[in-house]
């Protein structure tokens, strides 16, 4: 019940933000591209060892990224390509952020790579299992939003390295959770 109220409140806020964008003729795909560009700027700030500002930029980017789907639904411009574009740009953003963190020597590149692999597998498993007929596979403790919030939270205080460790562990736990659920549904 509380979670449903929370979702309704968030949906209301998003719709209030999106209404002026819809009136101005902004398209959902434009918002998707803007979200990616902002995430790439955050990744670059990590490369420059500017954790705090990278976190602020990623927070703004993630808020903007949440708007494209709402805008698409409100304007009746949902499309399979839009969903594909959003998902693809999310993967680019995830990889760029971890690359920026590693390239900025904020975490060992091997840890960043393992975290990157776990994060990608979380998304891949969902897509592959759903295509195989598992039904919706939105299970696990660390989907993209949670992983991003962890990185942002740790980076705000200058500890993004520990955020990467935590995201890596949680991503791999999620991989195992999804594998188990897919096995149960597809066997």
Contact 41, 96 (CB under 8 A): no
Query: 41: which residues sit within 8 A by CB, 6+ positions away?
Result: 57, 61
Q: Locate tokens 């900025």: which residue?
A: 104
Which is catalytic among the residues 65, 68, 86, 90? 90
Q: Locate tokens 């990157």: which residue?
A: 116
90 is catalytic: yes
Question: What does residue 83 show for φ and ψ, rounded to 5 degrees?
Answer: -65, -40
Angle between helices 80-103 and 67-75 (to 10 degrees): 170
Q: Which of the residues are catalytic?
A: 90
């Amino acid at each position: 019940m509380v979670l449903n109220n929370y979702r309704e409140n968030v949906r209301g806020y998003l719709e209030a933000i999106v209404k002026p964008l819809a009136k101005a003729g902004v398209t959902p795909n434009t918002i998707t591209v803007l979200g990616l560009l902002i995430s790439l700027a955050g990744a670059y700030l990590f490369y420059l060892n500017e954790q705090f500002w990278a976190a602020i930029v990623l927070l703004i980017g993630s808020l903007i990224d949440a708007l494209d789907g709402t805008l698409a639904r409100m304007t009746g411009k949902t499309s399979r390509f839009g969903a594909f574009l959003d998902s693809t740009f999310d993967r680019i953003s995830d990889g760029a952020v971890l690359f920026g963190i590693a390239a900025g020597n904020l975490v060992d590149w091997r840890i960043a790579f393992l975290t990157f692999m776990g994060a990608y597998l979380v998304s891949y498993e969902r897509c592959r299992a759903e295509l195989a007929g598992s039904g919706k596979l939105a299970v696990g403790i660390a989907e993209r939003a949670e992983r991003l919030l962890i990185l942002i939270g740790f980076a705000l205080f200058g500890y993004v390295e520990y955020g990467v460790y935590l995201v890596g562990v949680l991503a791999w736990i999620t991989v195992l959770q999804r594998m188990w659920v897919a096995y149960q549904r597809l066997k």
